[in-house]
Chain A
Amino acid sequence: EAAVTQSPRNKVTVTGGNVTLSCRQTNSHNYMYWYRQDTGHGLRLIHYSYGAGNLQIGDVPDGYKATRTTQEDFFLLLELASPSQTSLYFCASSDATNTEVFFGKGTRLTVV
Chain B
Amino acid sequence: QQQVRQSPQSLTVWEGETAILNCSYEDSTFDYFPWYWQFPRESPALLIAIRPVSNKKEDGRFTIFFNKREKKLSLHITDSQPGDSATYFCAAFNYNVLYFGSGTKLTVEP
A interface residues with partner B (beta carbon < 8 Å): 31, 33, 35, 40-45, 48, 50, 56, 58-59, 90, 92, 94, 96, 98-101, 103-106
Interface residues of B, dominant DSSP: strand
Residues A105 and B43 in contact in the complex (CB < 8 Å), given A98-B32, A99-B32, A100-B34: yes
Cα–Cα distance between A45 and B89 once the two chains are bound (Å): 14
Most buried by A among B44, B101, B103: B44
Assess whether A106 is in contact with B43, with CB atoms less than 8 Å apart. Answer: yes
Nearest B residue to A96 via CB reads B96
Assess whether A33 is in contact with B43, with CB atoms less than 8 Å apart. Answer: no
Chain A: minimal CB distance from B96 (Å): 5
Closest 8 CB pairs of A and B: A103-B43, A42-B102, A43-B100, A42-B100, A42-B103, A100-B46, A101-B98, A103-B44
Assess whether B93 is in contact with A98, with CB atoms less than 8 Å apart. Answer: yes
B53 interface contact, C-beta 8 A:
no
Residues A103 and B45 in contact in the complex (CB < 8 Å), given A31-B96, A98-B98: yes
Cα–Cα distance between A61 and B57 once the two chains are bound (Å): 34
B49 interface contact, C-beta 8 A:
yes
Cα–Cα distance between A56 and B97 once the two chains are bound (Å): 10
